[in-house]
Amino acid sequence: MAPEPPPTVPAAVYVAGGMHAHTTRVAITGIDSCGTPSQAGIQTPLAMEGLSWPAGVALHGTPPVATHAQPLQIPLMVHTLRAHATSVYTSDVVHAAGAPAPHWGTPTVGATPHAPSTCQAQHIVYYDTHGARGHLASGTTGCGILLVDGDLEINGTFTWYGAILVNGGLRLSGDGVQHITGGVVVAGTVTATAGTDLQILYCSEAIAQPVRSLPLRILAWRDRFPNAP
């Protein structure tokens, strides 16, 4: 038996399908804010031509941008971890129209934009959009792992502590600060629209913490029978 490993998050943002920011208010750092060796700010299996952003975007890491990376098995990671989900949603929205934004824990944001958030609550949220684009409303917060099968749009203010794995594309839109301490892995394209204020800080502790309480995995099974007389 062995503990469930944390999801593979090799950068503050790993994106398989390209990333395009249309706002200068982007700060992405792979410098581990939780103390272990630093990662890339952005990592992709694509060439640099698959990435674009305006001058003024702040990217930090070792290196700030890493291209031609080894592809990740994102569908497999989502499939494996969804078995441990504490909340499951199977619609293109996770809250009724006009209802408050969902809260899966409330991170305590760091004192400065470069300081990591903290959170004691830990959730594993699985969200299957069934082919539509899923939406998270302004004001959504969470701590743990967010797993998404399908495309996802995060609109307005958003705070997350932990890993976000999207088996699809990710669109970041609206006014308000979107702050993520942990890391983001996206199988499709990441788009940040004009006006979005995006802050992503890599944090290995935030990524590893949610799986520590999961049951051990059985790696092999052997039946033993008594010797026949």
What digits encode the pLDDT tens for the residues 9-64? 999 999 999 999 999 999 999 999 887 789 999 999 999 999 999 999 999 999 99
Q: What would the pLDDT profile of 57-99 be if each residue is shown by its tens digit?
A: 999 999 999 999 999 999 999 999 999 999 998 875 665 555 5
Going along 39-186, which residue ranges are E strands? Answer: 40-43, 51-52, 58-60, 65-66, 87-89, 103-104, 123-136, 140-155, 158-167, 170-173, 177-186
In a domain, 164, yes or no: yes
Domain that holds residue 165: 11-109+117-211
Q: What would the pLDDT profile of 173-183 be if each residue is shown by its tens digit?
A: 999 999 999 99
The per-residue b/e assignment along 16-54, b for 16 or more CB within 10 angstroms, e otherwise, is: bbbbebebebbbbbbbbbbeeebbbbbbbbbeeebbebe
- Please report where in the chains the tokens 């995006």 appear, as a residue: 198
In a domain, 54, yes or no: yes
Number of structural domains the chain divides into: 1
In a domain, 45, yes or no: yes
In a domain, 88, yes or no: yes
- Structure tokens given for 102: 């969902």
In a domain, 77, yes or no: yes
* Close Cβ partners of 6 (under 8 Å, ≥ 6 residues apart): 163, 207, 208, 210, 211
In a domain, 67, yes or no: yes
